[in-house]
């Protein structure tokens, strides 16, 4: 047995550790936001708008809002106004699906497709800014995906 004068190996100690697990993650996410803000300023996109465009650039076919939401982990409460802004910027059009009148499909305009060219240099800018090696990035991503999966089931699937 160890000679320990410490009176709290318990919750009170955790209340400090806690300050670092979740918090460093939050800080990193916001730091990422700052760098992307700089990189995307010229394109006139915000970071979430950029992520949305990424999905659209990947899947050339028009996407229902629902599918976009699943890909981005966002609900219509967030996506509807965001897509409206992209539409106002002339990058996408939204139109009711013919087969299912409930669904709204999002399609890139010519301008939206062309913007892809100007966005090509962005990822390498960001990759440089992270200063992580390929292996570190891979480790990080694996941990984060495990974490997200665990947290999701804890929260109730959703």
Partner DNA sequence: CTCCATTTAATTGCGCACAACTGAATCGTG
Partner DNA sequence: CACGATTCAGTTGTGCGCAATTAAATGGAG
Q: Which residues bind DNA (CB under 7 A)?
A: 26, 30, 33-34, 37, 46-49, 64-67, 69, 73-85, 94, 99-104, 158
Cα 33 to Cα 46: distance, rounded to the nearest angstrom: 9
Instruction: Give the strands of the sheet with 92-96, arranged side by side.
Output: 63-64, 104-108, 92-96
Query: What's 43-96 look like in SS3?
Result: HCCCHHHHHHHHHHHHCCCCEEHHHHHHHHCCCHHHHHHHHHHHHHCCCEEEEE
Q: How big is the site for its own copies, counted in residues (CB under 8 A)?
A: 63
Does residue number 43 form part of the binding site for its own copies (CB under 8 A)? no
Q: Contact at 8 Å (CB) between 36 and 50?
A: yes
Which of its own copies, DNA, none does 146 bind, CB closer than 5 to 8 A by kind?
its own copies
Which of its own copies, DNA, none does 129 bind, CB closer than 5 to 8 A by kind?
its own copies
- Contact residues for its own copies, defined by CB under 8 A: 11-12, 14-32, 34-36, 38, 51, 54-55, 57-58, 73, 116, 119-124, 126-132, 136-137, 139-141, 143-148, 150-152, 154-156, 158
């Amino acid at each position: 047995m160890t000679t320990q004068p410490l009176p709290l190996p318990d919750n009170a100690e955790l209340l400090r550790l806690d300050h670092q697990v979740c918090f460093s993650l939050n800080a990193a996410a916001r730091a990422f936001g700052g760098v992307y803000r700089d990189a995307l300023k010229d394109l006139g996109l915000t970071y979430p708008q950029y992520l949305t465009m990424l999905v659209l650039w990947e899947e050339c076919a028009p996407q229902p809002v629902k599918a976009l939401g699943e890909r981005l982990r966002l609900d219509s409460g967030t996506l509807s106004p965001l897509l409206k802004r992209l539409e106002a910027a002339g990058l996408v059009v939204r139109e009711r699906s013919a087969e299912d009148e409930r669904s709204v499909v999002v399609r890139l305009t010519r301008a939206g497709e062309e913007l892809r060219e100007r966005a090509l240099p962005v990822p390498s800018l960001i990759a440089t800014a992270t200063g992580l090696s390929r292996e570190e990035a891979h480790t990080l991503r694996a941990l984060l995906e495990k974490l997200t999966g665990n947290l999701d089931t804890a929260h109730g699937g959703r």
